[in-house]
Amino acid sequence: MTNIVNSKNQKGQAVLIILLSLSVVLIIVLFIMSRSVTDISLSTKDENALRAFSAAEAGVERVLITGSGTGQLSIGDALFNASVTGFAEGATEVVYPISLKSGENATFWFSRLGETNVYTAPTVKYCWGDKNTTVDGLAPALEITTYYLEAGVYKVARATLDPNSSRASSNNFSAATNGTCTIDGQEFQFYSTIGLPSTGLQYATAKMLYNTTTAHKVAIDGNGLGFFPSQGQKIISDGSYGDANRKLEVFQLHPIAPPVFANAIFSATGITK
């Protein structure tokens, strides 16, 4: 009788162990399946995002080739829609879209042939340097070169603005203000207002100095006194594929002569190859 009871207990324990083992195996299988489904889903999302980004790039390239917006077009199963506008056209303030290190230039246009917007205010405010930039040996100074036409002759006016007072004094630079300057919602650490030629104003270049390790942005503000012509083209392209959407914003600035040619203006003789 005892043997029969023990046999039944052993059978019951064996069934319980088998059920527990099956439960563990089932949990492992479900976990693996869940991970696989998640991985597939993530891979699909990544692939959709990549195709949407490629479609947005295709929109930008089409605008660069044709010079006009695209409307909604397809590339394979992906869609893109790109538009182009004049960058800062008719604005009273301009933030240069590229951060600059020492020796690099930004160009700001005050007038352009064929455009109705011409900046005629007597002054313009320059703002530069990321917010909370420390005034030390690497604090950026700004060299402004303004080009204008007077009595049929192209002329140049220069000013160098430096927030580092000791450096400005030793270099005979003009002192810049160390304080908050906000242009187009972006905050800058340094600013200075300079006078402009009264006639024939063309454009100006702003060269960063001293900031060899950190790039900073630069901007100009007309203080509501004048309107700038376009500074180039602003291209916005939206790409979509599946449930993914990607947007690209690209600036195509007006072409300018390489910086080396600026030296010819101050040369007593011509530049020879």
- pLDDT by residue (tens digit) across 87-127? 999 999 999 999 999 999 999 999 998 899 999 999 999 99
- pLDDT by residue (tens digit) across 195-212? 999 889 999 999 999 999
| pTM (whole model) above 0.85 | no
pLDDT band of residue 41 (cuts 50, 70, 90) is: low
- pLDDT of residue 135 exceeding 90, the answer is yes
DSSP string over the chain: -HHHHHHHHHHHHHHHHHHHHHHHHHHHHHHHHHHHHHHHHHHHHHHHHHHHHHHHHHHHHHHHHHSS--EEEEETTEEEEEEEEETTTT-SEEE-SS-B-TT-EEEEES--TT-S-----SEEEEEEEETT---STTSPEEEEEEEEEETTEEEEEEEEEES-HHHHHHHTPEE-EEEEEEETTEEEEEEEEEE--SS-EEEEEEEEES-SSS-B-EEEE-TTS------EEEEEEEEEETTEEEEEEEEEEPP---GGGHHHHT-SS----
Q: What is the pLDDT of residue 99?
A: 96
pLDDT band of residue 19 (cuts 50, 70, 90) is: confident
Q: What is the pLDDT of residue 166?
A: 93
From 16-25, 65-74, 239-248, the region with the lowest mean pLDDT: 16-25
- pLDDT by residue (tens digit) across 218-270? 999 998 888 999 999 999 999 999 889 999 999 999 988 777 666 665 555 55
- pLDDT of residue 5 exceeding 70, the answer is no
pLDDT band of residue 20 (cuts 50, 70, 90) is: confident
